[in-house]
């Protein structure tokens, strides 16, 4: 109905990058406090996760078709 493009691989990024991982892809409470002064950013994707998600989106979308005028 809305022509959404699903990026199926995103959940798999976090399979080994959870909170307890030494290479976590989510922000913890201390990082959130340091960056934004509160804990509201905890458990959200960190910059490394966003870079990986962006790469998946880039590969999935057909940008040439999207940019046609």
Q: Give the mean model confidence (pLDDT) for residues 14-27.
A: 93
Alpha helix positions (H), the chain: 10-13, 29-36, 47-60, 63-66
Q: What is the pTM of this model?
A: 0.79
pLDDT number for residue 4: 87
Chain segment 36-61, per-residue pLDDT in tens: 999 999 999 999 999 999 999 988 88
């Amino acid at each position: 109905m809305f022509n959404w493009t699903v990026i199926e691989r995103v959940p798999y990024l976090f399979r080994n990058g959870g909170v307890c991982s030494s290479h976590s892809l989510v922000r913890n409470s201390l990082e959130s406090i340091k960056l934004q002064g509160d804990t509201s950013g905890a458990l959200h994707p960190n910059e490394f996760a966003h870079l990986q998600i962006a790469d998946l989106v880039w590969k999935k979308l057909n940008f040439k078709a999207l940019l046609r005028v």
